[in-house]
């Protein structure tokens, strides 16, 4: 018999496919199918990730592009969500964010720019070279 935590069942969100636990540290490129949950530290690139969850103890040093992100911990880098980006109370995000939908609870520390993306399949696409390129500065 397998038991699921109540929070996942109540929210209708399936459990993560991959978890970097508290006390764990990863550096490099990580290819994840489905959902990645970070409770430890990650520095590098994430490819093919559908949903990124950064727990309250999680620390991420990277520029990321995912379909959906929920941040409770700390992110040092730019975040691009092709769907929803949710920053929960206690989150600390230092970098630019862009998403179709942004939810920011009271108690979030955010230092950067926020850009709203257009909706629709043709408006956005995943870019596997996101971590290696930088957008030109517009004046």
Q: What is the dihedral of CA 54, 65, 108, 36, to 10 degrees?
A: -10
Q: How far apart (Å, rounded) are the C-alpha atoms in residues 74 and 80?
A: 15
- Residue 131 domain flag: no
Asked if residue 30 has pLDDT above 80, the reply is yes
- Residue 103 domain flag: yes
The pLDDT, as a whole number, for residue 116 is 92
Token digits of residue 47: 């490819």
- Whether 125 and 107 have beta carbons less than 8 Å apart is answered as no
Burial zone of 67 (CB within 10 Å; 0-12 exposed, 13-18 middle, 19+ buried): middle
Q: How far apart (Å, rounded) are the C-alpha atoms in residues 119 and 96?
A: 19
Calculate the alpha carbon distances from 35 to 32, 82, 91, 108, 119 in Å: 7, 15, 19, 23, 22
Based on its alpha-carbon atoms, the radius of gyration of the chain, rounded to whole angstroms, reads 15
- Residue 3 domain flag: no
- Residue 93 domain flag: yes
Q: How far apart (Å, rounded) are the C-alpha atoms in residues 93 and 110?
A: 5
- The structure's pTM equals 0.76
- Residue 132 domain flag: no
Band of residue 18 on the pLDDT scale cut at 50, 70, 90: confident
Weakest mean pLDDT among 18-22, 46-50, 91-95, 101-105? 46-50
- Residue 88 domain flag: yes
What would the pLDDT profile of 33-56 be if each residue is shown by its tens digit? 899 999 999 999 888 889 999 999
- Residue 130 domain flag: no
Residue 41, domain extent: 12-114
């Amino acid at each position: 018999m397998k038991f699921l935590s109540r929070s996942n069942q109540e929210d209708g969100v399936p459990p993560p496919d991959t978890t970097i636990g508290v006390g764990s540290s990863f550096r490099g490129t990580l290819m994840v199918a489905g959902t990645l949950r970070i409770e430890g530290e990650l520095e590098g690139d994430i490819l093919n990730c559908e949903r990124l969850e950064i727990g309250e103890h999680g620390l991420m040093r990277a520029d990321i592009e995912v379909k959906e992100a929920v941040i409770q911990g700390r992110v040092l880098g730019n975040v691009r969500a092709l769907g929803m980006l949710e920053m929960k109370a206690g989150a600390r995000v230092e970098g630019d964010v862009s998403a179709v939908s942004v939810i920011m609870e009271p108690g979030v520390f955010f230092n950067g720019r926020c850009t709203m993306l257009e909706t629709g399949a043709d408006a956005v696409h995943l870019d596997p070279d996101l971590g290696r390129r930088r957008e030109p500065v517009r004046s």
